[in-house]
Amino acid sequence: MLAIKTEGLCKDYRLGFWRRRTRVLHALDLTVEAGETFGYLGPNGAGKTTTLKLLLGLVLPSAGRAWLLEQEVGDPEVRAAVGFLPENPSFYDYLTGEEFLAYGARLAGIPRRRAREQIAALLDQVGLMGAGRMQLRKYSKGMLQRIGLAQALLGDPPLVILDEPMSGLDPIGRKEVRDIILRLRAEGRTVFFSSHIIPDVEMICDRVGILLGGRLARVGRLDELLGTEVESVEVTAVGLPEPIVEELGVLALAPPLVQGGRALFRLRGDVEVDKLLRRVLEAGGRIASVTPQKRGLEELFLAEVRAGARR
Amino acid sequence: MRIVAIAFMAFTEAVRDRILYSLLAFALAMIGSSIVLVRLSVGGEAKIVKDLGLGAISLVGVLIAVFIGVGLVSREIDRRTIYTIMARPICRAEFILGKFCGLGLTLLVNVAVMTVGLLSLAWLLEGRWSPELLPAVLLAYVELLLLTAAAILFSAFTTPTLSAIFTLSVFVIGRLIGDLRAFAEQFGGAGLRALATGLSYVFPNLARFNISEASVHALPLGTGYIPLALLYGGAYLILFLAAAMAIFARQDLK
């Protein structure tokens, strides 16, 4: 089953003083399978939030169609099975956390008794158990993000759409959000989230899409996109005299880094590694570590951004 | 159910708005201060209080309808609180209707409080209740609902400031349209007559909802006047709300 599908989805806005029609999303064709955790990457202004708003019916498409859980997005009832956390969420600040969640539950059509149980459980899950009766105006940014996540999870939706869920959070907050997403994944739910915090995406996603200038530049499984090939090998050697370090420097891709008696060499492949290891041992040195380096999502993302800028 | 939830939240928000209490205090002070005028007048004391009181209910109601009404939708968009609401299984028409009902309830409570104040004062002066004022209050409330719908309609496509100006224009033109048409019929040329007729088709004749003079002086209104006025108000209300829903349904919530 497809959790999300778009066909030729386009969005134009009228921008500037003359209100010129500007296309911010170009013929997006995207599918997300049910149960996947999909990371939607892109620099600021790439069209990530516009895509999410199109999926939720907050903005209307200029062309193309979209489906959530195999129902066309024009029908409001499709959103009964979807939870959404907007970017930098803003809520009625005079409500308490519990009142806000109760309002969300009423709008979602959740029966009162079930809502009460769910609210208590969700507050516990997002670590706001003691803050449920506090007004939202007194919440910190991290707490607002967490109450936003809690409202997105009301009614146990099979599809959760999160817009920059880690944005503005400290490392602890980011880890908590990551853990919640991983838990949703373990429960078999589909999570579609936009982000520009690449290490987080790399850590938790099955598939990623990279959006550049309103166009989907790359999409696929992480292992497909990044490949399994080793790009380089980092070798750390200890106790080498300076002339030997200089001699071995010719094998490396970049000048070796020397600090506190340790020399770090970045080498292209096995042949160079063999030569270096042999020479280090001959010279009376010791090998501290050998680390193969694979291409990361960050490198792929930056390469795509650079390629996009050239285009 | 969802409309009720949105209406209740709009009511809660209005109740927490300080402007509401300022206007309510102003209205009650206005009704209370009419006692001073009573002392200066000879005869007809209670009528002055009733006349001023009904005027205060209408004036303050209009201010609440306009200044809270124009922010009902636009404030949700500006503060971005609308995203989590419209991401629920709610259609845009339900949102508009919920907001309208919320402010309608706020106005009902305010009009009720002001009416109780006015009736109590009239009772103190006359030693009897004045139920003849209630039809005037009812029609004033219908006029306020119409203005609320107009404020929501304008705020669905323009800024709060322009919405307030447009809604107040509906109020002023609506109150004067009958007189303008009569004047054009008697003294105006073909152009003025056409303009007055055109305006009377677009704007509701709000003077039909102002029966305070007839109520205070116990003048006959004619049979069927109130039901007809309610039907007339209802038709415009449906028209305004349908237009607001149609515009809001096509709007991007950026």
**Structure confidence at residue A244 (pLDDT):** 92
Residues near B150 by beta carbon (within 8 Å), at least 6 away in sequence:
B69, B166, B167, B170, B240
Q: Which of B176, B146, B156 is nearest to B247 (CA)?
A: B156
**Structure confidence at residue B254 (pLDDT):** 84
A22 pairs with which residues across the strands? Answer: A13
Tokens at A110, concatenated:
């959740």
DSSP 8-state assignment for residue A158: S
Global confidence as pTM? 0.86
Cβ atoms A262, A238 nearer than 8 A: yes
* Beta-carbon separation of B87 and A82 below 8 A: yes
Type and span of the H or E element at A226: helix A222-226
Q: Which of B9, B12, B89 sits opposite A109 (nearest CB)?
A: B89
**What counts of helices (H) and strands (E) characterise chain A?**
10, 14
**Structure confidence at residue B195 (pLDDT):** 87
**Structure confidence at residue A294 (pLDDT):** 78
**Structure confidence at residue B41 (pLDDT):** 67
CA-based Rg of chain A, rounded to a whole angstrom?
A: 25
Type and span of the H or E element at A26: strand A20-33
**Measured between CB atoms, does B217 come within 8 Å of chain A?**
no
What dihedral do alpha carbons B69, B74, B79, B80 form, nearest 10°? Answer: 130
**Structure confidence at residue A100 (pLDDT):** 95
**Structure confidence at residue A226 (pLDDT):** 78
- Name the one residue in this structure whose structure tokens are 């305010």: B110
Task: Domains for chain A: give ranges and CATH numbers.
Answer: 2-221 (3.40.50.300), 230-294 (3.30.70)
Q: In what order do the strands lie in the sheet with A207-212?
A: A82-85, A159-163, A190-195, A37-41, A207-212, A215-221
Tokens at A54, concatenated:
């199109």
Q: Cα–Cα distance between A54 and B240 in angstroms, integer?
A: 28
- Name the one residue in this structure whose structure tokens are 């009897």: B128
**Measured between CB atoms, does A254 come within 8 Å of chain B?**
no
Tokens at B22, concatenated:
């300022």
Cβ atoms A309, A247 nearer than 8 A: no
* Beta-carbon separation of B9 and A92 below 8 A: yes
DSSP 8-state assignment for residue B198: H
DSSP states of A241-306 as a string?
-HHHHHHHGGGBSSPPEEETTEEEEEESSHHHHHHHHHHHHHTT-EEEEEEEEEPPHHHHHHHHHH
**Structure confidence at residue A211 (pLDDT):** 94
Q: Which of A58, A107, A148 sits opposite B2 (nearest CB)?
A: A107
Distances (CA, A) of A192 to A35, A201, B34: 10, 11, 64
Helix/strand/coil (H, E, C) string of A46-101? CCHHHHHHHHCCCCCCCEEEEEECCEECCCHHHHHHEEEECCCCCCCCCCEHHHHH
Q: Cα–Cα distance between A255 and A240 in angstroms, integer?
A: 15
Residues near B140 by beta carbon (within 8 Å), at least 6 away in sequence:
B54, B57, B58, B61, B111, B209, B210, B212
Cβ atoms A162, A192 nearer than 8 A: yes
Q: What is the ipTM of this complex?
A: 0.84
DSSP 8-state assignment for residue A131: G
* Residue A214 phi, psi dihedral angles, 5° rounding: 80, 5
pLDDT 10s digit of each residue in chain B, 254 long?
A: 789 999 999 999 888 877 778 888 888 887 777 777 776 666 667 788 888 889 989 999 999 999 999 999 998 999 999 999 999 999 999 999 999 999 999 999 999 999 998 898 888 888 888 888 999 999 999 999 999 999 999 998 889 999 999 999 999 999 998 888 888 888 878 888 888 888 888 899 999 999 988 888 878 888 889 999 999 999 999 999 999 999 999 999 98
- Name the one residue in this structure whose structure tokens are 């968009």: B77
Residues near A133 by beta carbon (within 8 Å), at least 6 away in sequence:
A96, A97, A98
* Beta-carbon separation of A106 and B252 below 8 A: no
Q: In what order do the strands lie in the sheet with A286-294?
A: A257-259, A262-267, A230-238, A286-294
CA distance A65 to chain B (A): 16
Which residues in chain A are closer than 8 Å to B85, comparing Cβ atoms?
A: 107
Which residues in chain A are closer than 8 Å to B5, comparing Cβ atoms?
A: 103, 106-107
Tokens at A249, concatenated:
């420097």
Could you read off the pLDDT of A199-250 as tens digits, one per residue? 888 889 999 999 999 999 999 998 888 776 778 899 999 999 989 999 999 9
Q: Cα–Cα distance between A303 and A301 in angstroms, integer?
A: 5
Could you read off the pLDDT of A117-138 as tens digits, one per residue? 999 999 999 989 889 999 999 9
**Is the pLDDT confidence value at A71 over 90?**
yes
DSSP 8-state assignment for residue A36: -
**Is the pLDDT confidence value at A139 over 90?**
yes
Mutation target for A interface from B18, B88, B253: give the one with most A CBs within 10 A. B88
Could you read off the pLDDT of A187-200 as tens digits, one per residue? 999 999 998 888 88
Averaged pLDDT for residues A99-121: 94
- DSSP SS3 for A28: strand
**Structure confidence at residue B42 (pLDDT):** 63
**Structure confidence at residue A301 (pLDDT):** 85
Q: Which of A230, A236, A274, A269 is nearest to A253 (CA)?
A: A269
Nearest CA in chain B to A161: B87
Q: Cα–Cα distance between A54 and A40 in angstroms, integer?
A: 14
Cβ atoms B65, B105 nearer than 8 A: no
* Beta-carbon separation of A59 and B81 below 8 A: no
Cβ atoms A49, A40 nearer than 8 A: no
